[in-house]
Structure 1
Amino acid sequence: MPNTLIHTIEIYKLYIPLKEPFVISLGPINEVQNVVVVIRTSDGFTGWGECSPYMTINGESIDTCFIVGQYLAKALKGRNALDLEHCSSVMDGIIYANTSIKSAFDIALHDIAAQHAGLPLYRFLGGEKKKVIQTDMTVSIGTPEKMRADAIRFTTKGFPAIKVKLGESKEKDVARIKAIREGIGNEIPLRIDANQGWATADEAIEVLKALAPYDIEHCEEPIPRWRFMELGKVSAASPIPIMADESCGDDHDAERLIQLNACKMLNIKLGKSSGFLKAKKIVQLASNAGMHLQIGGFMESRLGMTAAAHFALLHDSIEHYDLDTPLMFAEDPVEGGIVYGEKGVVEVPEVVGSGARVKEEYLRGAERVMV
């Protein structure tokens, strides 16, 4: 195996304001709080990674990622950056879970490996540019009037699908979808995401049946993820196809859901899977099972979303793209990387590696540590 040794690792806290609060059933997000990992090798390669920890989903915060990242950095320093499986095993051997911060390291290591191979990241991963990536745009929870106005605005901009955050009572959620459909008509696909908001399988089934007349493409994570044994019941009774999100973190979760015949689709996020290595295993498992996939994220900047977009080109089974969060930022801290075109088109850079990095002015004043 080729060899390029990890020389230094830098970890930064990145705070970015949003244009407006982003609200889901698990609570509001008022500011982006991400962690950037920069890995430098002894022979001059630099890899960039980012994670967006989500306390109520992956149990991590910007502070825990900053601390745990130092444990990971000390363990990885001096190791071969190109031995991706070994580096992943080292991180798993240091600490259980903590998938968000592990993903930032994994993304940075893959960036280095792709650069070393002289390939764009998507090609290094095994993907091809044979499809157009178009992201949906998300409407967060609010009044029916506000959600309708947001949906109309996104539809006017040509996004191919509107994703709607739900997860409260049947009455409130039906009123929201009714208002949105009245505003945008019936031509644009609607996707809904309850973020575990409906407390039981029976409640979820009741709400999903009430929403069926509004032509919903699919529903993400209708019930609490710890009720995964009941997700199959929801899927069997729901007129709307079910996509697992919070209940599908890594490849072990995916294998369990597939064995349970729990859902028709899976939502892959690098911050849940610990990065590319385990996400690729999810794709293989889902492909073998004939399942459809979505690639999404948390609140990553264009750095993290560039990594996700490269991954989206990996396989034909990845059909849905939820890569919209950088469009919610009040500032763009990234240079290079993906470009958002008209109608939600996401252009993946044809450069060696991922092609994205954080602008120096955002790193200069950030809290950081170097190992």
Structure 2
Amino acid sequence: MRISEIEVFAIRLPLYEPFVISYASYDDMPSIIVKLTTDTGHVGYGESVADDHVTGESWESTFAVICHTLAPQLIGENPSQFEKIHEVMDKAIYGVPSAKAALDIACFDAVGKAYGVPAYDLLGGRYHEKFPITHVLSIASPEHMAQEAADRVAEGYESLKMKVGTDSKEDVKRIQAVRERVGKDIAIRVDVNQGWVNSATTVQAMKQLESCNLDWLEQPVKADDIDGLVEIKSKTSTPLMADEGLKGVREMREIIAKRAADKVNIKLMKCGGMYPANKLAHMAEMASIECQVGSMVESSIGSAAGFHVAFSKKIMTSVELTGPLKFSKDVGNLHYDVPFIQLNEKPGLGIDVDEKILEELTVRKEKVTE
């Protein structure tokens, strides 16, 4: 089995409402979809959601890198040789993890279909039966976030992830308002997306939030400030999660060596896809650090890939892949039993891609062949 053709689609996924985090506001979500075809006729889909602030890639640069640098190198390669696929991509260009993730995911999808097995069987087999889904609250006023939280809890959600990080004093009010509205039994996770910048601001804010009983605090300081995480962890009692501070093996080694976090958020777009994510999970497990597979707000394609990684690993204790629930149109049909997700046993990623919708949302496309 060899890769014979790779089609690349630059699309924009429409959101029901704007998605607001500490460093950006999105009216729609730019994404790159790849369609990989083998000489045996098997088709695999992959996705890249680049983030200028996290992966150092843009939507435009990712499209160009896949079309002109990565895809040509993979034509003729065996998609089941995951280690070699990544070696070829790494030799072609340094970094660009979300671009590599799209091709990695497409390989897993195609190989799973060729072998007649779900992608999680290519990663060690299924471990979890289902995961609870966490609703993500975009940044808004304390009153608005509290009301949205109450509405979601009424729908059956038992955990909430709050996006904060614009101003620590206002963020404290937001978190307190949500906790007061939903009561003490609902799990609240707080994601600062680097917005509190340094350890001093973070420790000050957390002293005011001790009574809120947060599940965890995620990436309050700048991505490269792993020593800042160490200081926060030593001065606060709330479990600490590293997100933007964890991209690949180098950062994971440092986090483990310094005991800088209690948990890590593994994202396929940050590390290069399903195969590298699998490696990071093994590293975390050896250090007894719990893992989550997080979201860059991907479509059904990228979200399904993340779920396959999460479902295959015991060390994965949570998932936050809710992109498809935020889109008014999606290219795939990943199914949620809100507030849970249960994967099916179909081969590959286990989803169907609607090529009519893919074409409708496409802004630009290109094909790479032998």
TM-score normalised by L of structure 2: 0.96
1:349 is matched with which residue?
344
- Measured against aligned partners, the alpha-carbon deviations of 1:236-272 in whole angstroms (never above 9, x if no partner) come to 1122111000010112221121111111110011001
Cα shift at 1:350: 0.9
Which residue, 277, 280, 287 being the options, matches 1:279? 277
CA distance in 2, matches of 1:333, 1:116: 22
Aligned partners of 1:14 and 1:362 also within 8 Å: no
CA distance in 1, matches of 2:183, 2:172: 16
2:320 is matched with which residue?
322
- SS for the counterpart of 1:368 is strand
State the superposition RMSD in angstroms: 1.3
Cα shift at 1:141: 0.6
Does 2:293 correspond to 1:298? no
CA distance in 2, matches of 1:109, 1:219: 34
CA distance in 2, matches of 1:312, 1:127: 11
Shift >4 Å, 4+ stretches: none
- SS for the counterpart of 2:224 is helix
Does 2:338 correspond to 1:339? no
Does 2:248 correspond to 1:250? yes
Which segments of 5 or more consecutive residues in structure 1 lack a partner in the other structure?
none
- Measured against aligned partners, the alpha-carbon deviations of 1:267-296 in whole angstroms (never above 9, x if no partner) come to 011001101121111111111111111111
- Measured against aligned partners, the alpha-carbon deviations of 1:305-355 in whole angstroms (never above 9, x if no partner) come to 1111111112111001111121111222213xx31113x211212111112
Aligned partners of 2:32 and 2:47 also within 8 Å: yes
- SS for the counterpart of 2:208 is helix
1:57 is matched with which residue?
54
Amino acid at match of 2:356: E
Deviates more, 1:296-305 or 1:324-333: 324-333
Aligned partners of 2:5 and 2:38 also within 8 Å: yes
> What aligned pairs does 1:263-274 form with structure 2 within 5 A after superposition?
263-274=261-272
Amino acid at match of 1:52: V
Does 2:356 correspond to 1:361? yes
Cα shift at 1:357: 4.0
1:76 is matched with which residue?
74
Cα shift at 1:356: 2.1
1:223 is matched with which residue?
221
Cα shift at 1:183: 1.4
1:214 is matched with which residue?
212
Deviates more, 1:350-359 or 1:23-32: 350-359
> What aligned pairs does 1:140-151 form with structure 2 within 5 A after superposition?
140-151=138-149
Aligned partners of 1:127 and 1:311 also within 8 Å: no
CA distance in 1, matches of 2:314, 2:332: 28
CA distance in 2, matches of 1:363, 1:290: 41
Aligned partners of 2:6 and 2:34 also within 8 Å: yes
Amino acid at match of 2:109: D
Aligned partners of 2:47 and 2:302 also within 8 Å: yes
CA distance in 2, matches of 1:306, 1:286: 22
Cα shift at 1:223: 0.3
Cα shift at 1:95: 1.1
Amino acid at match of 2:302: G
1:18 is matched with which residue?
15
CA distance in 1, matches of 2:100, 2:213: 38
Which segments of 5 or more consecutive residues in structure 2 lack a partner in the other structure?
none
Which residue, 133, 136, 139 being the options, matches 1:138? 136
CA distance in 1, matches of 2:266, 2:39: 33
Cα shift at 1:232: 0.7
Which residue, 186, 194, 197 being the options, matches 1:196? 194
CA distance in 1, matches of 2:143, 2:219: 25
1:93 is matched with which residue?
91
1:107 is matched with which residue?
105
Aligned partners of 2:128 and 2:314 also within 8 Å: no
Which residue, 117, 121, 124 being the options, matches 1:123? 121
Deviates more, 1:109-118 or 1:66-75: 109-118
Aligned partners of 2:297 and 2:321 also within 8 Å: no
CA distance in 1, matches of 2:208, 2:161: 18
The alignment of Structure 1 onto Structure 2 pairs a total of residues equal to: 365
Identity of aligned residues (%): 31
Cα shift at 1:229: 2.1
CA distance in 2, matches of 1:84, 1:111: 12
- SS for the counterpart of 2:4 is strand
Cα shift at 1:110: 1.2
Amino acid at match of 2:283: L
- SS for the counterpart of 2:61 is helix
Aligned partners of 1:192 and 1:216 also within 8 Å: yes
Aligned partners of 2:130 and 2:343 also within 8 Å: no
- SS for the counterpart of 1:339 is coil
- SS for the counterpart of 1:249 is coil
CA distance in 1, matches of 2:43, 2:167: 48
CA distance in 1, matches of 2:169, 2:72: 52
CA distance in 1, matches of 2:329, 2:196: 34
Amino acid at match of 2:277: A
